[in-house]
Amino acid sequence: MRNIIIAGNWKMNKTFDEAGNFLKEISDFVKGKVIDNIDIIICPPSLYLEMTTDFADNKIFIGSQNVSNYEYGAYTGEISAKMLKSIDIDYCIIGHSERRKYFNESNQLINEKLKILQKFGIKPIVCIGETLEERESGITEKVITSQLKGVLKNVTINQDVIIAYEPIWAIGTGKTATPSQAQEIHNLIRKWLLENYSMKIAEDTSILYGGSVNPKNIKELLMKPDIDGGLIGGASLDIVKFKEIIRIALEI
């Protein structure tokens, strides 16, 4: 059975003190609870990564929001996978639509980042998703499979790779794909993994849904057979909403 993954992407939000207080409250919330079936991942701004690892344990994991495709060198402002590994970072988001849109990241670049994360034993959370224009044009399947081919080119997958389906039109908009729409694409991704890897890889790979996930829709999303959790933006900044999402996931 695949664990449910509840991952919070804080993006460029929270001060140092706010980050520490949030993590302490989440840590206190899960203390004493049996959550063997859930992995909680927090992805704070890079400035706070070392501090937030103080709260990491077998229930709470810390992830980076980005990584350089270079191992080391004269790349001012960049953060390497080796640096992340040296402070015990477990996960890293790559390929988020905001990185693609605002920083012109290509499938090839994301593929390079994925490989370097694997080299240093950090689990990548690989984001894919279509725009509203692409969905309305009826080319969602073509876009998703093209992204999968690009970001996973010559990549060996095991349980260390997580895929996050994020329809771009649902990120930060308040809109969300219906659970049935999300399930349809998650199933497409799993079938693609079956056809291009193996039955075991298809069954073992966690596929998250992202796009205005909140306490009101998380249960119905998680009830779908191919949706293994959420990559959560806005609701992960609100301690009440995030705890409620975890509570709901615990009951499934």
Contact 82, 52 (CB under 8 A): no
Per the structure block, which two tokens stand in for 163?
């895929």
Specify the DSSP class assigned to residue 91.
Answer: E
Contact 22, 239 (CB under 8 A): yes
Catalytic residue from among 78, 96, 136, 186: 96
The set of residues, in sequence order, having a beta carbon less than 8 Å from that of 46 and lying 6+ positions away, is 64, 65, 66, 79
Burial 172-194 (b: 16+ CB within 10 A, else e): eeeebbebeebbebbebbbebbe
- Does residue 78 carry a catalytic annotation? no
Per the structure block, which two tokens stand in for 20?
């520490």
- Does residue 133 carry a catalytic annotation? no
Catalytic residue from among 98, 105, 166, 186: 166
If we measure between CA atoms, which residue out of 147, 152, 194, 192 comes closest to residue 167?
A: 147
Angle CA 6–85–117, to nearest 5: 70
Q: Which residues are catalytic?
A: 96, 166
